[in-house]
Amino acid sequence: MRLTSIACVGVGMLVTARSVHAGPLVTYDFTGTVTKVTDSSTFALHGAISAGTSVTGSFTYDPGVAGFVTGNPNVSVHPGAAIKFSVNIGGGLLVWDSLQLNHDSDVVVANDATAPDFDEFLLTGGEVPPSGLVLPPGATIAEPFVLTVAELFLIDPTLTALADQSIPTSLDISAFSKRGLLLWGGTAPQTGGGVIDPGMILTTIDTLTRETSAVPEPSTLVISSILIGVFGGVAAVRRTPK
C-alpha cells in the first residue's frame, strides 16, 4: 500500500507539471513614477501618495491565448491572456501582488496600417479581492473592493512596433514612445465587469526587463515517467495474489 501511495503522488506531480497555459508565460518587470492621483468615494489615499513617487512592479501574460477581431479589423482582443500583476508604490506604501487576475483580464493588440492610428499593446485586468494588498495609513476603500489595471499601455505612433495582431512574445520598450499604467480602485459591481466610482493612480513606465524562469528539462519529465512506471509495476506485484 505504501508503494501504491508513492506512485499516486508521482502521478499527481507529473500531471501538475503538465498543467500549463496555452503557451509559455511571459513576465516583465517595470519601473516608473506616479504622475497623478485622484481620490474617490470608493478608493481614497488622502495625500499619502503624490506625483513623483517611485513605482516598481511586474506583469505576466500568455501570448498563446487566441483572440478575436473587434469592430476595428486592426484590433484583436485576447480574453484571459493577462495572468498576474504586481505593483509597489513608494517603497511599500501601496502594494498589490495578485494571484491569477479574475476581473476583466484581457490583452488587446492594435496593429494599424496607416496614420493617424497607432500600434498598441494593452494589458488590463483586476482581482476581487486584491491579494497581498497593503494600503498606506489613512487610506479608505469601499467593499467589495477591486483593484484593477484599467490599462497598462505601450503605444507606437510610427506603426512599426508590432508585426501583426497576435500577442507579442517580447516587448522592446524603445519601440514605444508613449508608455504608462492606469490603476483603478473601487467597488466591484455585483454582475458584469467595470469598477464603480474608481479612484485613480496614473504612472509612467520607464523601464521594462523580461524575467527568465527555469523550464523543466525534457529529461526530467522522462525520468519522472520512468519512476512512475517502476513504482506502478512494484505496486501491481504487491497486489498480485500468491
Query: Would you state the pLDDT for residue 216?
Result: 46
Q: What is the domain partition of the chain in residue ranges?
A: 21-239
Query: Would you state the pLDDT for residue 70?
Result: 84
Query: Would you state the pLDDT for residue 5?
Result: 34
Query: Would you state the pLDDT for residue 112?
Result: 79
Q: What is the mean pLDDT of each run of 10 residues along the chain (242 residues)?
A: 35 34 84 98 97 98 94 91 96 96 92 80 93 95 93 94 93 96 89 81 98 55 46 49 54
Query: Would you state the pLDDT for residue 113?
Result: 66
Query: Would you state the pLDDT for residue 72?
Result: 85
Give the per-residue SS3 of the chain: CHHHHHHHHHHHHHHHHHCCCCCCCEEEEEEEEEEEEECCCCEECCCCCCCCCEEEEEEEECCCCCCEECCCCCEEEEECCEEEEEEEECCCCEEEECCCCCEEEEEEEEECCCCCCCEEEEEEEEECCCCCCECCCCCEECCCEEEEEEEEEEEECCCCCCCCCCCCCCCCHHHCCEEEEEEEEEECCCCCCCCEEEEEEEEECCEEEECCCCCCCHHHHHHHHHHHHHHHHHHHHHHCCC
Residue-wise burial string across 180-200, b where 16 or more C-beta atoms lie within 10 A, e elsewhere: bbbbbbbbbeeeeebbeebbb
Own/partner pairs, 232-236, CB within 8 angstroms, 24+ separation: 232/7, 234/3, 235/3, 235/4, 235/7
Find cell 524603445 and name the residue: 174
Cβ 67 vs Cβ 76: under 8 Å: yes
Q: pTM (2 decimals)?
A: 0.77
Query: Would you state the pLDDT for residue 104?
Result: 85
